[in-house]
Every structure is written in C-alpha cells, then in structure tokens.
Amino acid sequence: MHTTNTLRRSAIALLTAATLGLAPTALADTGHQGSSWRAAWAASPQSPTAPFAANWSLQGFDNQTVRQVVRVTTSGNRARIELTNRYGSTPLRIAGATVARTAEGSAVRPGSVRQLRFDGRASVTIPAGGTLLSDAANLPVEAFESLTVTLYLAEKTGPATFHHISSATSYRADGDRRADLTGAAFQETSTSWYFLSGVEVTGGRESGRRNGIVTFGDSITDGVGSTVDTDRRYPDALAERLAEAGRPRAVVNHGIAGNQVVNDTTWAGEKGLKRFRQDVLAEPGVRTVIVLEGINDIGGSTTTFPAAPTPDVSAAQLIAGHRTLIREAHAKGLKIVGATLTPIKGSYYNTPANEAKRDAVNDWIRTSGAYDAVVDFDRTVADPADPDRILPAYDSGDGLHPNDAGYEAMAGALDLDEL
C-alpha cells in the first residue's frame, strides 16, 4: 500500500508540475534525514512593524504572490528553504512555493523553477509561532548565486513575520504567479523579506564540513547604509574574501537594524540575549559566530528616533550580556569573535556619556580575553585625525553607519586564521 500511495502521489506531483510549467521535485527524499545540511543564507525574523516607511508586514497578504531574491554564500547539490511564522498570531497557510535561479529583477531563469514541497505536499500550514523547512529541491546552487523564492499566499495571512531592512528588493503580484518566468506581473516592491528566514544546502564541495560563520548584531551587521541590491554588507564582503583566499565558508547574516543586547524593542526585534538561541545556535553547519552589538543599548536611551527611548543600560550591564552570549556559544561548541563598537561622533547617538560607555565596552572587548578572538572594527573605520568619528570615506552620511567601502574595510580587518 505504501508503494502504491507513493506512486500515486508522485504521479499527481508530476501532473501538477507539468500544469504549472515547473520542474518536479522528487517525493521519495524529503531531505530532512541526516546532519549534512548547512546554512547558506539567513535573515532574522521580526514582528510586524513600520518605523521608517510603509511595508507589507502590518497588513499582510491576501491572494498574492511574493518573490524574494537572496544570495547564497556556499554551494550544494540540493537546497531547501526555511519559512517562519514566529510572530504570527494565527496559522499561516502557504498555498504553494517555488525556488529558481534569478534572472534579473523579479524574473527567473527558464528551466530552473522547482516546485517546493513540504513532507510531500504542495501546500502547508505553519502554526502561530512556528518555523518549518521545505523538502529538498533538486536544484544545484553555486556560492554567490542568487535564488528567487516565490510564495503564493491564497488566503489572508494577517500581519506578517518579516525581516525589516533587507537592502534587497522583494516583489508582489496579485493572484498565483508562481510559474511566471518574467517579472511583468510583479508591479509592487518592498525592501523587506517576508516569512522567509533561511536557505540551506547539502552536498557539493563543502559537504560534511562544519565551518560556517554567523554574523550577529544590529544595523551595521544588517547592512544599513550599503547599496540596495548589490550585496555589499560586511558579511557579504567577508564571504567573498574567504572565497578569494581559497578558504570558502558560508557566511550568514543575523543582524537586525536597531537591535539591542539586553533590551527588547517595539520595532527592532527581541533582545539579542533571547534571539541568539533561536537565530544563531540553531543554524546547521556553523563553527564560528562574530558578535557586533551594543551601540543601540548605549544610544537607545538618549534618542526618540525612531521610537520612544529604551531603558538605560550601563557598560557593566552590556558587558554582562556579552558574557552570556559567550557562555552560550561555548556551550554549543562554537568559537565566538567579539567586535569593538564603531564610532558615533556626529551621529544622533553622540553624547559624552554614550561615548564613555562605548569606550568602556571596547576596552573590555579588547583586553578581557573573554572572547576567543577580537576584531577591532572601531579602529578599522575610525578617522585617524578624529578617532571618535567614522572616516568620511567610510561614512554613509549619518555618522553611524558605514557605506560600501566601510563595510569592505570591516571585512578586510578580520583575521582569517582566527576564524
């Protein structure tokens, strides 16, 4: 009976794929067995919010198709995606999903579209608070290749779990446009990612190697200030540098703009002390984590941008938070690298008290020996003539966030041997 049912399901899958113009995905291997999966791309989930500009998270979706473009940093023979409803208040139904190689914009390459399945089914319901993985798709991918994930949301989703600042364009169309090769129907755009929180791969040249890197932090890890749709965040530049050095490793980005170590916020995600376990420690194939976080703990209590001030955090409290992250990483067998906090002079965080806290935390990161290794991002991007200020050539314009050149300099400051 099992064989008959499997054949029947396979026949239905082939017919459905042919009708949609998609390449079929085998049902015999759901891809969940074994421990060979490796994180290839990631984005930390956030609750719905719109502190800066309108996005689609608060309203959600209804009979719409969303296309999202992501760049993986490691190769593999097969791929699967992670979808999340972590901050949803109701179950989320995914009516169908595909993955394909990106052509240009919202268009995809002919012959590369794969229908994704979930335990053999074309649709799936994710419970409120839940996260799940698709089955394996037979789509070989190369490091630094862009993939397009298309989700058809046939019913009202309610407010959407998302990643606010993606520095990448996502696309939306009415109705079911999963099989579209062109982007003609996708007339709406957003610079956030929705429901999509990861891409994993298995097989390929890096098969069996547990050497991935997670970058964990706030907007400077997230890539605020970098050029949209160019993958110029510092984790992107680090992955490219490793590959150019003949030492390829996956680098996945778990930064959230505005995030803090010890405070939850209404708009920038749960505090790092909580989300570290979900976002970092659960990633497969990871060996090292780089932590750059704390400037929002320091500055968040002295500004009303973009929301009400957060509770004051002392340097001692922030250091205690970092020590907790170190303990949790070590308990998981991860190497953890601490990054000094970058300059704030000339930014909306600049006060004498905040600068004193930043100096105290940086001194501890450099001298305590608590981290397994240290990267001095502060000195990397500082103006030698005014070390409390970011070098103008590296400044995106707000005195706080680096530009593309600044992010490249940060990636260049990491000692590859220490990673």
**Cα atoms in the Cβ-side hemisphere of radius 13 Å centred on 275:** 28
Within-domain flag for 280: yes
Q: What angle, rounded to 10 degrees, do the helices at 315-331 and 352-367 form?
A: 30
Give 290-320 pLDDT, tens digit per residue: 999 999 999 999 998 898 999 999 999 999 9
- Are both 237 and 258 inside the same structural domain? yes
- Are both 51 and 156 inside the same structural domain? yes
Within-domain flag for 240: yes
- pLDDT at position 35 is 59
Within-domain flag for 166: yes
Q: Which of 198, 230, 256 is the last residue of a domain?
A: 198
Q: Which of 149, 169, 198 is the last residue of a domain?
A: 198
* pTM of the complete model: 0.92
Residue with tokens 């050029």: 227
Kindly list the distances between the CA atom of residue 183 and the CA atoms of 70, 172, 178, 231, in Å, as whole numbers in the listed order: 16, 10, 11, 21
- Provide the 3-class DSSP secondary structure of residue 195: coil
Q: Which of 163, 198, 233 is the last residue of a domain?
A: 198
- Are both 38 and 179 inside the same structural domain? yes
Single-letter code of the amino acid located at 91? P
- Are both 226 and 191 inside the same structural domain? no
Q: How far apart are the C-alpha atoms of 299 and 325, rounded to whole Å? A: 20
- For 181, other C-beta atoms within 10 Å of its C-beta total 15
Quote the number of domains for the chain. Answer: 2
Query: Using CA of residue 382, residue 386, residue 388, residue 389, what is the dihedral sign?
Result: negative
Residue (of 256, 238, 225, 356) closest to 51 by Cα position: 256
Which CATH number characterizes residue 316's domain?
3.40.50.1110
Within-domain flag for 204: no
- Are both 179 and 243 inside the same structural domain? no
- Are both 107 and 222 inside the same structural domain? no
Q: How far apart are the C-alpha atoms of 377 and 411, rounded to whole Å? A: 9
- Are both 186 and 306 inside the same structural domain? no
Q: How far apart are the C-alpha atoms of 2 and 23, rounded to whole Å? A: 24
Within-domain flag for 350: yes
- Are both 253 and 173 inside the same structural domain? no
- Are both 121 and 190 inside the same structural domain? yes
Q: What is the pLDDT along the chain (419 residues), one digit of tens a residue?
A: 333 333 333 333 333 343 344 444 333 333 434 459 999 999 999 999 999 889 999 999 999 999 999 999 999 999 999 999 999 999 999 999 999 999 999 999 999 999 999 999 999 999 999 999 999 999 999 999 999 999 999 999 999 999 999 999 999 999 999 999 999 999 999 999 999 999 999 998 777 788 999 999 999 999 999 999 999 999 999 999 999 999 999 999 999 999 999 999 989 999 999 999 999 999 999 999 999 999 999 999 999 889 899 999 999 999 999 999 999 999 999 999 999 999 999 999 999 999 999 999 999 999 999 999 999 999 999 999 999 999 999 999 999 999 999 999 999 999 999 99
Bridge partners (DSSP) listed for residue 335: 288
- Provide the 3-class DSSP secondary structure of residue 378: helix
Q: How far apart are the C-alpha atoms of 150 and 95, rounded to whole Å? A: 11
Task: Give the residue numbers spanning the domain of 173.
Answer: 2-198
Within-domain flag for 205: no
Within-domain flag for 419: no
- Are both 128 and 68 inside the same structural domain? yes
Judge if the upstream peptide bond of residue 306 is cis by omega within 30 degrees of 0.
yes
| 105 in Cβ contact with 173 (< 8 Å) | no
Within-domain flag for 203: no
- Are both 145 and 261 inside the same structural domain? no
- Provide the 3-class DSSP secondary structure of residue 171: strand
- Are both 32 and 80 inside the same structural domain? yes
| 194 in Cβ contact with 176 (< 8 Å) | no
Single-letter code of the amino acid located at 317? Q
- pLDDT at position 305 is 87
